[in-house]
A and B are shown apart, each in its own frame.
Chain A
């Protein structure tokens, strides 16, 4: 085996330029494939990042004024959702993972000592942050059921608010702040980058506290829900809308009376887009790689032709066809393997460099974030390479094996 390898290295050294050019073809193919895939992944990351830290399957339902007459009631009627709707939905519709109400009281002034900030004031049950499970709480804790039950005057604040009220790295948790002149204790700081960070300009208090402060009983501004795993979000959305519209006597075609937004909708489009982009990238990448393969195959054919005499001599001296084929295959595999591996390393290195540069300078390219090639992809590329190497060498090698010693030694 070692001997065989030495034989091969020997012949490769014999034809340095040719080996180099061949290797470059494969190197370039893999390099481009990795680069393209990495860039594609960067775009994907960038676009997904734009969706914020929201979980990607939520549905929200809110109400407005009716736009069509229905059951003897004219258009322009104000519809208000309430907690009974939530109860009805969770009782009558299956396939819901989490459902949560949200109330808000518009913008208000938040003050701490001599600093103040303007933020949206909301009231939520503790399920709300279970629904938005991806939202990081940098400090403190999420609201809990006891907060709601005991109508505690506590509040969680978004990072934008926290930054303005506690500018010098002061610990916000445990401090008393004034929310529209009502003193409340901060129990946590969250970061929600939805709405391009605007979602972090909010303060949220327990729903019960909110109801006590702002009245309006059981009315609700927004209903949030998430389907269970494997449940079709669109189907669920349809059922929920049907139920809520029936409960509030809203025409089923009225999209202003009861409105909804389903994250699955843009997700579907984006996912489709990226499938398209990925297909394109693989197509181009594999095309480049194919050029490399053809190059290798070509060179191997020439090699075999040039070495006809040598192969003939070797056969006369006792080389079996298997030995000839395996040597040539090993030769092409070695060249492609080495060159491809190099391409992989350089490609990944370049991507990492770009990612590092983006991170360290803090530059934010629109729709481009953290380009990378994952491990599985690297393995795929490597396997592809070995396959390619064997494939490229196979035809010429088989041809070489067919050479008879006599005809070979006649060739000059």
Chain B
């Protein structure tokens, strides 16, 4: 599903270019649940941005779902994001003035799906994440865990090829973290490809495979041992 070879990325800071990614190689197969681990400054946010076509890379190759992602115009990038990717963010990033269902329907709006169909599918996915009774709630009426569920529903609603979750549990307490990870795994079992970026070992342990990033390079990938939580989920 994802093939990355020799990805390099520089940032221009002052007159000294900052070499952030120094030739990253990684693959993610269809239907995998993968964690990308790394301490801050390891380049994992940058890698996530490139994976999510939110940022460009300077050299190397990136194939997403059989499609080469090279230098793209803003418009093409937006279209590709809309078609291929679903995002789950640490800070949820729900639009505060839209209710849960409207937030979930947003990617469909940008696909040009009709209102009725949009609402139907939004409700379907809210049911899936267990928020059947919160469809018309505004984000500020929802708890952190509920917000993240809405965000997950939003990431799923347009049936993307890959779901990218950036520290999905970073803003949540441990109980809620467990619930959300259980939901993530549940969604994975339904056949979705999911990449979770995290620095929490607990969270990473619940995925199938961990990709370790250090100083802009993939240092190791290892198969997770099923943790007790994972077994419980």
Contact = CB atoms under 8 A, between A and B. Distances in A.
Interface in B192-219: none
A321 B55 contact: no
B26 interface: no
A317 B164 CA distance: 12
A404 B111 CA distance: 20
B93 A409 contact: yes
Interface in A308-358: 309-310, 313-323
A130 B81 CA distance: 79
Interface in B87-127: 87, 89, 91, 93, 95, 97, 106-107, 109-111, 115
Interface stretch (B61-69, B72-80, B129-137, B223-231): B72-80
B147 interface: no
A14 B110 contact: no
B154 interface: yes
A317 B55 contact: no
B133 to A, nearest CB: 24
Given A315-B81, A406-B54, 19 more contacts: A3-B109, A313-B95, A316-B52, A316-B81, A317-B87, A317-B154, A318-B78, A318-B79, A318-B81, A318-B83, A318-B111, A320-B74, A320-B78, A320-B79, A320-B110, A321-B75, A405-B54, A409-B89, A409-B91
SS class of chain A's interface: helix, strand, loop or mixed? helix
B78 A321 contact: yes
Contacts of B177: none
A313 B91 CA distance: 11
Contacts of A14: 97
A401 interface: yes
B82 interface: yes
B221 interface: no
B49 interface: yes
For the complex of A and B, 4 pairs with smallest distance between CB atoms: A318-B82, A318-B110, A320-B78, A320-B75
A375 interface: no
B93 A318 contact: no
Nearest to B107: A317
A406 B79 CA distance: 16
Interface residues of A, number: 23
Nearest to B95: A310
Contacts of A318: 78-79, 81-83, 107, 110-111, 158
Contacts of B87: 316-317
A322 B49 contact: no
A317 B82 contact: yes
9 contacts: A10-B97, A11-B97, A313-B93, A314-B110, A318-B81, A318-B83, A320-B75, A404-B55, A405-B54
Contacts of B81: 315-318
Given A316-B87, A317-B107, A322 B75 contact: yes
Interface in A137-177: none
Contacts of A315: 78, 81
A315 B82 CA distance: 9
Given A316-B54, A316-B87, A318-B81, A406 B109 contact: no
Contacts of B107: 317-318
B51 to A, nearest CB: 12
Interface-centre pick from A314, A317, A406 (highest chain B CB count, 10 A): A317
Contacts of B74: 320-321, 401
Given A314-B106, A317-B87, A318-B81, A406 B55 contact: yes
A303 B55 CA distance: 25
Interface-centre pick from A314, A318, A401 (highest chain B CB count, 10 A): A318
Interface string B173-185: 0000000000000
A404 B75 CA distance: 12
Contacts of A319: 78, 110
B110 A406 contact: no
Contacts of A320: 74-75, 78-79, 110
Contacts of A321: 74-75, 78
Interface string A250-263: 00000000000000
Interface in A388-409: 401, 404-406, 409
A168 B123 CA distance: 84
Contacts of B79: 318, 320
A3 B115 contact: yes
Contacts of A3: 109, 115
A318 B52 CA distance: 11
Contacts of A401: 74
A310 B139 CA distance: 14
A386 to B, nearest CB: 26
Contacts of B49: 406
A406 B111 CA distance: 21
Nearest to B56: A404
Interface string A7-49: 1001100100000000000000000000000000000000000
